Amino acid sequence: MAGLPRARKRFGQHFLTDRHYVERIVHAIAPARADSMVEIGPGTGILTDALVPSLEHLHVVEIDRDLAAALRERLPAGKVTVHEADALEFPFESLPAPLRVVGNLPYNVSTPILFRMAALADGLRDCVFMLQKEVVDRMVAMPGTPEYGRLSVMLQYRFAMALAVRVPPGAFTPPPKVDSAVVRMAPLGVDRARAQDEALFARVVAGAFSQRRKMLRSALRGQAKPEAFDAAGIDSTRRGETLSVAEFIALADAAR
């Protein structure tokens, strides 16, 4: 596509340029006029342009100074607010809740952004993100599968997730070396199952997957005593990849 800015490796930039996939992503987002929505990493604005007609207002967060300036110059100021900022530092809490967060996440910081969204889940309506397909596979993975891990558990603790669209490398300029996919993350709500100590829960999950082939009694030697496994009804010879989110909650609660 003529006129595209040069992608910057340090920002993990791959610009979506195939309008067929833009339409499919917009369909997955299903924007409504009154939505409070923010787009992360608008880049050249191809998705932004497709969203603006359906919304009263759209916020966008772009870390690249030149791209942010170009967006600010050509987008209608009354309809779009361009924030030149790092999504890992931007105060999403300052935008009206419940907030919808969308975007093509930079490959090099996608996981930290996902954990940031998990911390903000109670103020979100949903997130619709495009990421590397292998990351989406990990996000939606079920226990007992090779993709199931810490990311799976920590996100599924707060969100219901579904893969919405698969996107090939040729839909981007420059094309990445991997397939991409669009995932929808819907917060589970205030009545979801919660660990009594969420910091301990996070440590138990991290420990369980720190050495995947270890049995839980070895992997969690510093977090859970033998009696905690008995209280939770979990065999300590199992491996972390076999535990459901509910079992991780039960184990963390028993380990307090």
Overall average pLDDT of the 252-256 stretch? 97
Q: Three-class SS of residue 162?
A: strand
Mean pLDDT, range 55-76, rounded to an integer:
96
Domain end marker among 187, 219, 239: 187
Q: Is there a contact between 50 and 115 (Cβ–Cβ < 8 Å)?
A: no
Per-residue pLDDT tens digits for 95-122: 999 999 999 998 888 999 999 999 999 9
Mean pLDDT of 131-152: 97
**44 and 92 both lie in a single domain:** yes
What's the CA gap between 16 and 72, in Å, rounded?
19
What is Dmax (Cα atoms) for the chain? 65
User: In this structure, is residue 7 part of a structural domain?
Assistant: no
77-84 LR contacts (CB < 8 Å, sep 24+): 79/52, 79/55, 80/48, 80/52, 81/57, 83/59
Per-residue tokens: 83:
């924030």
Residue-range definition of the domain harbouring residue 223? 198-254
Does 98 map to a domain?
A: yes
Residue 213 within a domain:
yes
Retrieve residue 191's tokens. Answer: 């009545």
Tell me what the mean pLDDT of segment 23-29 comes to. Answer: 96
Q: CA quadruple 88, 159, 42, 34: dihedral positive or negative? A: negative
Say how many C-beta atoms besides its own lie within 10 A of residue 168's C-beta: 14
Run of H or E including 40: strand 36-40
| pLDDT attached to residue 7 | 43
In 10 A of CB 145, how many CB atoms?
13
Question: pLDDT at residue 242 above 60?
Answer: yes
Q: How many domains does the chain have?
A: 2
Distances (CA, A) of 187 to 95, 153, 171, 192, 219: 17, 14, 29, 9, 30
Domain annotation covers residue 242: yes
- What's the CATH code of the domain at 207? 1.10.8.100
User: How far, in Å, are 40, 57, 134 from residue 148 at the CA level?
Assistant: 26, 37, 11
Asked whether residue 95 falls in the same domain as residue 67, the answer is yes
On whether both 153 and 218 belong to a single domain, the answer is no
Residue 82 forms part of a structural domain: yes
Q: Is residue 231 part of a domain?
A: yes
